[in-house]
Amino acid sequence: MPTVLRLDGLRVSIYVNDHHPAHVHVIGPDAEAAFNLNCPAGPVRARENFGFSLSRLTKIEKLLQKHVEQLCRAWEDTHGIA
């Protein structure tokens, strides 16, 4: 599970043996969520949430959206086509 980005104290990872659609896992000290990237330009949307508040999820979506092109490239590098 390579870490592709660190944001606001969170680790953004792509699992090597993961499935489509293109998405990332955001891991915090007490929570984890998966976000669909909707490559190539978003919008980034939360898909699964285990422990983040709704306001924190919204903030994470906005942070990820700023990096969506980079994250889509990382997904493609790891899995092929997004």
Query: Do the beta carbons of residue 38 and residue 44 sit within 8 Å?
Result: yes
Half-sphere exposure of residue 63, counting CA atoms within 13 Å on the CB side? 17
Domain boundaries, the chain: 3-79
* Encoded amino acid at 2, one letter: P
In a structure prediction context, what are the per-residue pLDDT tens digits for the chain, which is 82 residues long? 689 999 989 999 999 888 889 999 999 999 999 999 999 999 999 999 999 999 999 999 999 999 999 999 999 999 877 5
pLDDT of residue 63: 96
Pick from 22, 17, 21, 11: which is nearest to 74 by CA? 22
